[in-house]
Amino acid sequence: MQIQLYDTTLRDGTQREGLSLSADDKVKIARELDQLGVHYIEGGWPGSNPKDAEFFQKIQHVELRNAKVAAFGSTRHAKNSCDDDPNIRALVEANTPVVTLVGKSSVLHVEKVLETTLDENIRMIADSVAYFRRLGKEVIYDAEHFFDGYKLDAEYALETITAAAQAGASCIVMCDTNGGSLPEEVAQAVKIVREHLKANAERPMTKDADLGSLSLVVGPQLGIHTHNDGALAVANAMAAVQAGCVQVQGTINGYGERCGNMDLIPLIANLQLKQGYQCVAPEQLRRLSDVSHVVAAIANINPDTHAPYVGRSAFAHKGGIHVAAIAKVAASYQHVEPELVGNQLRVVVSELAGRGNVRMRAEALGLTLNGNERAVLQRIKELESDGFQFEAAEGSFEMLVRRASADYVAPFELLDFTVIVEKRGANSVMSQATVKLRVGGEVMHTAAEGEGPVNALDQAIRKALLPHYPDLAEVRLVDYKVRIVDEHLGTAAKPRVLIESARGEERWSTVGCSENIIEASWQALWDSLELPLLRSRAAVAH
């Protein structure tokens, strides 16, 4: 059975606190959604702001192969006709093949928020849907607050969606706008709506709808739109699909107001891999991880590393027993093959690891341990007990493995260093570092100033090494983080330093930990500079 995917990242997703997209950002995301195989892309509310209006202009010049673009807006105002309603006019000007209209299903919202009568709300729904049907638009009707409205007054809630169905809406979408419903409540309501619409499909339309010669559309499809305030958005959407909904509305990564919208990523994977529904093609399913990360990057939000299916840690294994098992049978600790959603198995090395973790992680790096698994593991456990952490410092783990090799020769050796931080009077703070290094049989003594003590130390080390290893000029420090290991000690706490370095497209992270932040920084710098030298040496040897 085919499930229609309706994405509202560009509209509902942007209501997330701290998330803002330009019109060009929206076009980029729309392209990604189209390649994923999404069927509907809701571009925004054209009557609400100039940026959304700009998007609808730009998207008309973009060739989409899979998706239809929908413009979102509310039904006409109670005091307006469709012809003179500004919101309706903006939806027309958006020039999209699909219009999604939102209307009230709850007597509370009709009387207290809209401040109109129940009968007028019915006319507003019917008039608005019929207006766009006469213009040849596909109309999707979002029944806002449907489940809460159904609990307050089931008869009236059903009457609102009947009006939309009889006016020609192709899909009636039930919205759990407050996100507080439970799966069994959603499933029961969907079943009742399905039977109700089926029984009322042939009911004559009222004169108030002013439909003219429009023919009656019998049996609209059902859709579901859930929010995650009760952490049940995906579960509620799946319950709705099992009860008869064929369209699911949501956002990439669950972006949205408050606790977020329903996350389309795990929904697609669950429906397709676990329940046999057809959402996207298999090759599109393998793009799930990429789409999740690309959208996060465009939205300038750090990806959730623990997100189901697509997070970096979704198929990461840390416990020694787990790793020993997956080395024999990958499915023993994985509910699906990570490659199906574009992810990959990862083995994490820490004090909880076993020898299998060390061996598999080394093999993934193309390294051979030659029986040194136990020694490397013991060293990891000793260092982590002192505050080091190797989960996010795979470069330092690689250095442990390389240094354990019988043929390891250090490309350089630190003999000593001095770092001075000085402020005199009103002058700015000055940092200077001196280092003494040995390369082969030669000892270098260099000094350098920097923007801070760590930068000064980095500059002094490079000044000593570059004459011997000119390739280090291509290595740059791209990130520097400090984490306090034992916060309860206050200023005497031990800092952990994590450095990310890069050479072209190649990146690696290294770690250091000491009571002295300069020493911790040196430890991380040492690994970060030695690793590319050893990699280059190994590449030449092969």
Residue 326, pLDDT score: 67
**Exposed / middle / buried, residue 152 (Cβ in 10 Å: 0-12, 13-18, 19+):** middle
Q: Which runs of E-coded beta strand occur in 145-252?
A: 171-176, 221-226, 247-250
* Mean pLDDT, range 246-252, rounded to an integer: 98
In angstroms, the CA 248 to CA 223 distance is 6
Residues 318/357, Cβ–Cβ less than 8 Å = yes
The answer to whether residues 346 and 380 touch, using CB atoms and an 8 Å cutoff, is no
Residue 319 confidence (pLDDT): 65
pLDDT at 542: 65
Residue 207 is classified by DSSP as G
Residue 361 is which amino acid? R
Which residue type does 235 have? A
Q: Which residue(s) pair with 448 in the sheet?
A: 433
What does the angle CA 95 – CA 79 – CA 100 come to, to the nearest 5 degrees? Answer: 30
Computed over every residue of the chain, the mean pLDDT equals: 89
What residue spans of 37-180 are helical by DSSP H? 50-59, 86-93, 107-108, 118-134, 146-152, 154-166
> Cα(228)–Cα(258) distance, rounded to whole angstroms?
8
Q: What is the pLDDT of residues 41-56, one digit of tens each?
A: 999 999 788 899 999 9
Here the tokens at position 502 are: 């890069």
- For residue 323, pLDDT over 70 is answered with no
Residue 225 CA to residue 80 CA, distance in Å, equals 28
- Nearest Cα residue to 536 out of 480, 467, 470: 470
CA-closest candidate to residue 35, choices 76, 4, 66, 3 = 66
Nearest to 15 by CA among 62, 48, 47, 37: 48
Task: Measure the CA–CA gap between 224 and 175, rounded to whole angstroms.
Answer: 6
For 452-511, how does the pLDDT look when each residue is reduced to its tens digit (9 = 90+)? 899 999 999 999 999 999 999 999 998 898 888 776 666 557 888 999 999 988 899 999
pLDDT of residue 331: 77
Give yes or no for a contact between 470 and 477, defined as CB atoms under 8 angstroms apart: no
pLDDT value, residue 206: 43
Outline where DSSP puts E strands in 243-295: 247-250
38-42, 245-249, 390-394: least confident range: 390-394
Residue 107's contacts (CB-CB under 8 Å, 6 or more residues apart) are 118, 149, 152, 153, 156
Residue 214: predicted pLDDT: 41
Q: Which residue has the higher pLDDT, 234 or 367?
A: 234
3-state helix, strand, coil in the chain (%, to 5): 45, 20, 35
Q: What is the pTM of this model?
A: 0.73
What local confidence, expressed as pLDDT, does residue 210 receive?
44
Per residue in 159-215, pLDDT (tens digit) is 999 999 999 999 999 999 999 999 999 999 999 999 999 988 755 444 444 444 443
pLDDT of residue 485: 77
* R_g (Cα) of the chain, nearest Å: 30
Higher-pLDDT residue of 258, 325: 258
Q: Is the pLDDT of residue 321 over 80?
A: no
Residues 264/233, Cβ–Cβ less than 8 Å: no
For residue 217, the model assigns a pLDDT of 40
**Helix 118-134 vs helix 154-166: crossing angle, to nearest 10:** 20
CB 225 within 8 A of CB 187: no
Dihedral of the alpha carbons of 352, 356, 362, 363, in degrees to the nearest 10:
-150
